Chain A
Amino acid sequence: MNADVLDLLRAADPAEDMPATAAADRERLRQTILANSADGPKRGWLRRPRRPVVLAAMAIGALLLLCGTVVYAGRAVVTQPPLDPAPTPDPGTLMTARQVHAEYRLWTHKIELPPGVKWRREQLPTSSDGNGDTYGGNTGVMDAITWAWCAWGREWIAAAKAHDEARIAAAANALDRLRSVMPEWHEGMTENQGGWDSGELWVFDVAIADAKRGDLETLRQTIADWIDQ
């Protein structure tokens, strides 16, 4: 049924009516691009649009991440909070892959996995050399929560199969805790303010509620959405 929705969209592709570009115009554009930058990348030009906005945002993001790390470490030592919800990133937050990995590692220390399960190496979409790639806020948080959700979801399913009530209770507790810290994305926030929106969070709620009633299908579906990642 879902595929039908995309099929409907494909059938209504506006590009079907797109007028063709004259070959001469297309070639003229190619020549213009090459002529205006005949020596290849000009670093000053390349970085021009990045300088005022992106670099400042990256600096802010790095500062936020650094501050968040310190605050978390302080709290962890003093109060050992159960799990603090992920903070809402600044609207302009952009993180480097290194910062995302740091955020991911931070959360792997906050979240427990089922016995015997290890954290996977975080997978980020990157360009060929990875230089200059930026990511929205909470990318590392969401990846860590995603992996933990799948791990505990599988644990729940396996425990149910084995009729192991203690393991089921542990998995239920773990998923409740994960759900409580999932960053939320609201209408009006930017794409750089990473989080799950209300519809997505509702599905997680349903998955947990169904599972507690013994129906693991929705939980299976949430894992299936991610398992091939």
Chain B
Amino acid sequence: MDDAGGTREERFTRLYDAHYSDVRAYAWRREPDTADDIVAETFTVAWQRLDRIPAEPLPWLIGVARNVRRNLQRGERRRRDREELCARSDVIPSPAGGIEARSSLGAALRGLADRDREILQLAAWEGLDRAGLAAALGCSRATVAVRLSRARRRLLAALNAADAPPRPGAASSRGRVTDEC
């Protein structure tokens, strides 16, 4: 945190005020139905671990929120059910955020692997840099650099493929990056 002074409660309140909206936006983009639960649990963890929070707290908070979200999902079938339901409608499931399914961007996002989609969303929506992504994802910055670069190219390839006339039996653009990227 920028200012380590004050009582624990004051430090927590500064953290809470500074990043409540960031954490809620992270949760809402992905799980609007449980966003408030994720926020509450994330800041509860933050309060409990206040002395361990790094100087740049947002990536740490995003990492906690990410874990909370996963825990909430674990063992539940609701999300899968909702995705199946959404697949039959014009609304895109949560992995692509609230982007409409009919948009090429929404379709391209849905076609990406989970971890490609996640790192792109964290970079674009949460505005995390490589160090922040590494902290949030719990991996090294070297891994982040490669993964982000590849995810960008895959999304671009998927967008290009979506813009191109459909070819019968065309293979998915997911997976390998091609020279056409």
* Cβ–Cβ contact B16 & A30, under 8 A: yes
Q: Which residues of A contact B (CB under 8 A)?
A: 1-2, 4-10, 12-15, 17-18, 21, 26, 29-30, 32-34, 36-37, 40-42, 45-46, 49, 123-129, 131-132, 134-136, 139, 142-143, 146, 187, 191, 194, 196-200, 202-203, 222, 225-226, 229
| B40 touches A (CB below 8 Å) | yes
| B86 touches A (CB below 8 Å) | no
Per-residue CB contact flags for chain B residues 50-80 toward chain A (1 = under 8 Å, else 0) read 1111110001100000000001000000000
* Cβ–Cβ contact A9 & B105, under 8 A: yes
* Cβ–Cβ contact A13 & B97, under 8 A: yes
Q: For this complex, into which size category does the number of interface residues on chain B fall? A: 35 or more
Query: What residues of A have a CB within 8 angstroms of the CB of B125 in the complex?
Result: 9-10, 13-15
A-B residue pairs in contact (CB < 8 Å), sample of 20: A5-B152, A9-B120, A10-B124, A13-B29, A13-B125, A14-B125, A30-B43, A124-B140, A126-B54, A127-B53, A127-B60, A128-B54, A136-B138, A142-B140, A143-B140, A191-B115, A191-B137, A198-B176, A222-B146, A226-B146
* Cβ–Cβ contact A49 & B29, under 8 A: no
Q: In the docked arrangement, what's the CA distance between A12 and B98, Å? A: 8
Query: What residues of B have a CB within 8 angstroms of the CB of A226 in the complex?
Result: 142, 145-146
Q: In the docked arrangement, what's the CA distance between A199 and B115, Å? A: 13
Q: In the docked arrangement, what's the CA distance between A1 and B159, Å? A: 12
* Cβ–Cβ contact A46 & B48, under 8 A: yes
Per-residue CB contact flags for chain B residues 133-174 toward chain A (1 = under 8 Å, else 0) read 011011111110111011011111001000000000000000
Residue of A6, A37, A202 with highest tally of chain B CB at under 10 A: A6
